[in-house]
Amino acid sequence: MRERIRRYSRLLILLALCLIGAVAGTFIVARQPRPTTGGPVFAADAIVYGGTLETWSARAWQWTMQFPIGHNPGQDPTGATCGARQTGQVFFLPHNLPPCTVPDNVVIFVSLVGTECSTADAPPFYGEDAADLRSCAVADTDRYAVVTAQIDGVPVANIDQLRAVTPSFTLDLPSNNILGADPGNAQAIADGYQMMVAPLSPGEHEIVVHVELADGTVLPDKVARLTVVPADEYRKPNDP
């Protein structure tokens, strides 16, 4: 009789552990970021790997500004350096949208169009404090009257909701930086349209960005051709 009770108790313990594991697994899955329904782009208010759209925008500018002229991925039309100093679960596509090889396990941050103003910039992108910097970034971004994007031929919906102003953030400027400023730290704020794209399947993908200014000027479309490879086959370039 005691042996039966022991066996029954062990069975109850195992069932309890399985139930706890199932609940924990559901919780873990629920915490992973999810894109908006019907498309690969996350909603403007989504928290992606702990960060808001505004936070990731600031981090994208920090990533861009850390490189000197001649080694900056945003100035490399070949895309050979687009993976430089890319770490973590979000991959920053350079602002010039070059061809780029990307692993299939990362969220892709795409800057569609925008402006950064800082305490190190020359006028008209210079500001003395947070209020000046925000006003500067917002005023310049207001010039963009029409912003559209497509991913593999499918239009991205609600782009107007993807405009975001960053909080104040710190730039770590190297020597020979793209601002032409002295090396060191500067405070900055950025405004712009950007999107966070859920991990894409292995293969070839295309992102097309179309922008028109308030004065009627139509800017040349930017086209990013992405080659997405399995993460275990991805080889990032040597960091400059």
The answer to the question of residue 178 being in a domain is yes
Inside any domain, residue 239: no
C-alpha–C-alpha distance, residues 139 and 42, integer Å: 26
238 falls within a domain = no
Judgement on whether residues 214 and 188 belong to the same structural domain of the protein: yes
Shared domain check, 87 and 159: yes
86 and 127 in a common domain: yes
Q: 124 and 152: one domain?
A: yes
pTM, two decimal places: 0.84
Say if residue 92 is in the same domain as residue 167: yes
Tokens of 181: 């400023």
pLDDT at 236: 82
- How high is the pLDDT of residue 39? 57
Give me the number of domains the chain comprises: 2
Neighbours of 63 (CB within 10 A): 20
Same domain for 143 and 200?
yes
**pLDDT score, position 167:** 97
On whether both 26 and 117 belong to a single domain, the answer is no
Question: How much is the pLDDT for 33?
Answer: 52
Task: Tell me, yes or no, whether 79 and 122 share the same domain.
Answer: yes
Contact (CB, 8 A) for 210 and 151? no
Length of the chain: 240
DSSP secondary structure letter of residue 76: -
Same domain (yes/no): 124, 191: yes
3-state secondary structure of 238: coil
> What domain range includes position 11?
1-31
Asked if residue 108 belongs to a domain, the reply is yes
- Count of CB atoms within 10 A of residue 214's CB? 10
Same-domain pairing of 8 and 68: no
Q: Does residue 55 fall inside a structural domain?
A: yes
Q: In this structure, is residue 41 part of a structural domain?
A: yes
Instruction: List the beta strands (DSSP E) in 73-174.
Output: 90-93, 100-103, 107-118, 144-151, 154-155, 163-165, 169-173
**4 and 98 both lie in a single domain:** no
Q: For position 238, what pLDDT does the model report?
A: 74
Whether residue 240 is contained in a domain is answered as no
pLDDT of residue 45: 96
Q: Where are the alpha helices (DSSP H) in the chain?
A: 2-31, 53-65, 130-141
Q: What are phi and psi of 93, to 5 degrees?
A: -75, 130
> Are 47 and 17 in a shared domain?
no
Identify whether the C-beta of residue 67 lies closer than 8 Å to the C-beta of residue 94. Answer: no
d(CA 207, CA 198): 13
Query: Does residue 155 belong to any structural domain of this protein?
Result: yes
pLDDT < 70 stretches in the chain: 1-39, 239-240
